[in-house]
Amino acid sequence: MEGAEQGDDLRDHEGGVDGALDQHVNDARVARVDLVREQQREAGVVGDDVAGGDRASRRPGTDRLGGAMAYDEDLANRLRELLAGEDAVTEKKMFGGLAFLVHGHMSVSASGQGGLLARIDPGETDAVLSKEHVSRMEMRGRTMDGWVRVAPEGVRTKRQLEPWVRRSLSYVKALPPKG
């Protein structure tokens, strides 16, 4: 569809242009999750198992064949699935990993060092540090409240990963959108 025809189609959609765009974005997210699932099937990923060995038997930052990766692609795919229903999610390669931003704010990241980076309410930092596999995120020798690293052992399953994503989203969604 070109030019005016496309605009007419958007205006005719329930909810007007904004409603049509929201539907388009949602359709794109659903398609992305379907694509991720198809790629996982082709790669031999079934649930939390991987052909040729489960996630636990692989070194963080390696692919199924032991080759080097910048970040854990399986974790990135699982993060995509958990974030698929959220608005304004973008992906950006940063800190040697793949970060997921919500309204321009980093929420979670498949870390280039293995495991998960999560942005949380700074006031909750000390409490979550008592959890197994959790440490302060350190960058160039500095740490900040509100940024934690969860070791690969702490995000192997959806049951382990999902609460971190929810915790991060609840904090990040309360921030004013960036630019």
User: Does residue 172 have a pLDDT over 80?
Assistant: yes
**What is the reported pLDDT for 80?**
97
User: Does residue 14 have a pLDDT over 50?
Assistant: no
Residue 118 lies inside a defined structural domain of this protein: yes
Residue 37 lies inside a defined structural domain of this protein: no
Residue 105 lies inside a defined structural domain of this protein: yes
140 vs 122, which has greater pLDDT? 122
Residue 147 structure tokens: 């940024």
pLDDT digits (tens, 9 = 90+) for 40-97: 556 554 443 333 344 444 455 444 445 445 799 999 999 999 999 999 999 999 878 9
Which of these ranges, 18-22, 55-59, 141-145, has the smallest mean pLDDT? Answer: 55-59
Highest-pLDDT range among 9-13, 16-20, 63-67, 87-91? 87-91
- Total domains, the chain: 1
Residue 38 lies inside a defined structural domain of this protein: no
Q: Which amino acid is at 11?
A: R
Burial track 33-55 (b if 16+ CB lie within 10 A, e otherwise):
beebeeebeeeebeeeebeeeeb
User: Does residue 31 have a pLDDT over 50?
Assistant: yes
**What is the reported pLDDT for 51?**
33
Residue 140, domain CATH: 3.90.1150.30
Return d(Cα 83, Cα 113) in angstroms, integer.
21
Burial of 13 (0-12, 13-18, 19+ CB in 10 A): middle
